[in-house]
Amino acid sequence: MKDNRNNPSDADGVRIDIQAGETLPQATARHGLSIRKDCGDKGVCGQCRIRVDDARDATPLTDAEQQHLDSGEIERGFRLACQVRLSSPARLWIPSAALDTADVHGKESFACQLEADPMVARLFLERSAVPLVMEGKTLSLTGWLAERVREETGVHLRLRHHRILSALSAPEAASQAMTLVNHAQQGVTAIWPGRRPASYGLAFDIGTTTLAAYLCDLVTGEVRASASAVNPQRTVGEDVISRIAHCSQETEGLDQLRGLVVEGMNGLIRNCLASAGLKADAVDEVVVVGNPTMEQILAGFHPHAIGVAPYLPLTSHIPDLTAEELGLDLYPATAVYFFPVVSGFIGGDTLGAVLADGLFHGEKTALLVDIGTNGEIVMGNKDALWATSCATGPALEGAQLSCGMRAAAGAIDRVFREPGGTIGYHVLGKNGTRPKGICGSGIVDALATLRQAGGLDPSGRLNPDFPGVETDDNGVGHKFVLVRASENASGGEIAVTLKDIRQFQLAKAALAVGIAFLMDRVGVDGVSRTVLTGAFGARFNWRSAVVTGMLPAVVVRNGVAPKLNLAGVGAVMGLVNRCHRDRALEIQDQIRFVEMAGDPSFIERFTAATAFPDLNTLTDLLDA
Ligand code: FES
């Protein structure tokens, strides 16, 4: 699919040079830039267009480039960054739409204060000399220390970490006034001189697209600071399948992805600590939620079995690791707890979301939908919980659409009909930010608006007589031009093509069929409430989702609640109060996974769900 970003103004991009012996990624890194890799360098998305000026030794155009670039672009030197190789110095122009931005929307902070009963506690010991005469069964310095703690606090101390024993072995160390960080299961994980009462923990939500960290006071139960960033692993592809493929295809793939996510987490640790005015020695525990692939990669386990049928994670519960084992910039023995997982695609993030929402103790059946590059759906009540997952693909997060981008500054995130009937849009970012592309919530709105305005028929074909619908000279059939080239920051128009619509139809059908399967399994024809979460899930207009058939009308009639960061809230709950970890384990035990692909009716139902619904069946919702 070619697009027509034909006349970009050089002001809407960045010029860089490539020096002799330097690769393109090295040159962009030297300039502190990164080029989009929505498809993981596979030549599929066409989003990494750059212009190569003054190149003497560029490799010939690949098939992927022939497919994505039109003759005008090729003439002016446009190439796909993931395809071209340069063996001599050159000058490049990178349009702003091709630049990867670290800007993140979707995992903002939240304020909460929970009852604190953490897994770790700080214990204080005053200075005390070792008695000159001791007697008993087994005598040791640590035995003497443990006995003092037992007498003073009632806590049975376990001193088994090599680092802790090593610290205590120094002359006089066991006699000093000290603060012990005691983990209920791991034993003492840190020793500090003197009295240090402040005790904090970090909860991480490791998303395929976004990383978020929440710094919590383990004494008051308050979230003190938070930070988020794009997951640096996105440089090898936007979805978990690309990440798994990278681990399998590259010799150092797993280590590389592990290193990238750890680097991202360390950045968030620094940000959180700086904004709370704390040092790393204040952090006593870490809790991680993530989908099974993200958790496994972070723990250093190859995720290959998640990528092939029957899509199995290595284990349903990664054992506790330490900050040192993971490479986190914290005290080395600091314990890191991973939320358990249910299946290859229902992970600790979903359990965290169910925990935070309270779906598991409701009397009536409710639905929780977490939508990103994968959709996780949980339905149930206090008696039973059912879950399934569906490959919604990157289209709903704006990737792999002809003009798609993540929900970052410059993304069209809302599309609507103006009072005069024309189609308007809203752009993420400061006032005056010019549009660069369209993100997931924007495409849902765009198609719903077109459908309601008569620009799109139930099969997904654009009406050629609708204003803005034009023949797609570079693609197939028609396209709807949302932004003319003159209004776009990157100089090209922003359009919704037939191929984009087909991609969206596949994604929305997967989700709608998943919900329908769960309703069958639970034996209901509606739900008492629906919760939408996830960086994308909580941000789209649910009415638009109903108009497009992404959400069946029967699940929204009793109320829809978008809830940002439910997985992150669940992680915070598990960090601050240990009873929530037990509850997450109970939820894990209670959830039954439903596999749709093996059902004989799946193909038929999926095909039917690709159509856009009859608007006459939705009048009560649309008029509300
Ligand atoms: S085409 Fe180059 S990253 Fe997708």
The confidence score (pLDDT) of residue 1 equals 40
Which parts of the chain sit beneath pLDDT 50? 1-8, 104, 106
Count CA within 13 A, CB hemisphere, residue 603: 2
In single-letter form, the type of residue at position 287 comes to V
The confidence score (pLDDT) of residue 2 equals 42
The confidence score (pLDDT) of residue 3 equals 41
At CA 301, angle to CA 590 and CA 255, rounded to 5?
145
| The ligand 1 atom nearest the CA atom of 46 | 1
Our mutation pick for probing the ligand 1 site, out of 2, 5, 38, counting the most ligand atoms within 8 A of Cβ, is 38
Residue with tokens 């899930």: 537
Query: How far is residue 147's CA from residue 602's CA, in Å, rounded to a whole number?
Result: 63
Distance from Cα 44 to the centre of ligand 1, integer Å: 6
The confidence score (pLDDT) of residue 107 equals 56
Query: How far is residue 202's CA from residue 470's CA, in Å, rounded to a whole number?
Result: 51
Contact present, 24 and 221 (Cβ < 8 Å): no
Structure tokens at 327: 């490479």
Cβ atoms within 10 Å, residue 607? 11
- Identify the helix (H) or strand (E) that includes residue 378: strand 375-380
Sign of CA dihedral 453, 542, 484, 61: negative
- Cβ neighbours of residue 96 closer than 8 Å, sequence gap 6 or more: 12, 13, 14, 410, 436, 489, 490
Structure tokens at 236: 């090898």
Distance from Cα 68 to the centre of ligand 1, integer Å: 10
Distance from Cα 604 to the centre of ligand 1, integer Å: 33
Distance from Cα 514 to the centre of ligand 1, integer Å: 30
Query: What strands, in cross-sheet order, belong to the sheet with 49-53?
Result: 13-18, 90-95, 49-53, 78-80
| The ligand 1 atom nearest the CA atom of 64 | 1
Distance from Cα 234 to the centre of ligand 1, integer Å: 12
Which residue pairs, CB below 8 angstroms and at least 24 apart, start in 58-65? Answer: 58/84, 58/85, 58/86, 58/90, 59/83, 59/84, 59/85, 59/86
Structure tokens at 607: 């095909």
- Identify the helix (H) or strand (E) that includes residue 150: helix 141-153
| The ligand 1 atom nearest the CA atom of 40 | 3
Contact present, 207 and 107 (Cβ < 8 Å): yes
Our mutation pick for probing the ligand 1 site, out of 2, 3, 37, counting the most ligand atoms within 8 A of Cβ, is 37
Q: What residue's CA is closest to ligand 1, atom 1?
A: 43
The confidence score (pLDDT) of residue 8 equals 45
DSSP single-letter state for residue 486: G
Distance from Cα 37 to the centre of ligand 1, integer Å: 5
Query: What ipTM was predicted for this assembly?
Result: 0.99
At CA 112, angle to CA 108 and CA 114, rounded to 5?
140
The confidence score (pLDDT) of residue 268 equals 95
The confidence score (pLDDT) of residue 70 equals 82
Which stretches of 237-340 are DSSP H helices? 240-249, 253-276, 292-299, 323-326
Our mutation pick for probing the ligand 1 site, out of 34, 47, 246, 401, counting the most ligand atoms within 8 A of Cβ, is 47
The confidence score (pLDDT) of residue 405 equals 84
| The ligand 1 atom nearest the CA atom of 45 | 4
Distance from Cα 14 to the centre of ligand 1, integer Å: 18
> Is the pTM above the cut of 0.80?
yes
Distance from Cα 292 to the centre of ligand 1, integer Å: 26
Query: What strands, in cross-sheet order, belong to the sheet with 530-533?
Result: 560-562, 530-533, 366-371, 375-380, 385-390, 591-593
Query: How far is residue 57's CA from residue 87's CA, in Å, rounded to a whole number?
Result: 6
Q: What is the dihedral of CA 537, 543, 547, 549, to 10 degrees?
A: 40
| The ligand 1 atom nearest the CA atom of 43 | 1
pLDDT in tens, 594-612: 988 888 999 999 999 999 9
Adjacent-strand bridge partners of 535: none
At CA 395, angle to CA 100 and CA 238, rounded to 5?
45
Residue environment code for 146-164, b if the CB has 16+ CB neighbours within 10 A, otherwise e? bebbeeeeeeebbbebebb
Angle of the 240-249 helix axis to the 253-276 helix axis, nearest 10: 130
At CA 606, angle to CA 413 and CA 392, rounded to 5?
35
| The ligand 1 atom nearest the CA atom of 81 | 2
Phi-psi region of 83 (alpha: psi -120 to 50; beta: other; left: phi over 0): alpha
The confidence score (pLDDT) of residue 491 equals 64
* Residues whose beta carbon lies within 6 Å of some atom of ligand 1: 37-39, 41-48, 80, 82
Distance from Cα 98 to the centre of ligand 1, integer Å: 10
Distance from Cα 48 to the centre of ligand 1, integer Å: 5
Query: How far is residue 193's CA from residue 180's CA, in Å, rounded to a whole number?
Result: 9
Phi-psi region of 296 (alpha: psi -120 to 50; beta: other; left: phi over 0): alpha
The confidence score (pLDDT) of residue 157 equals 87
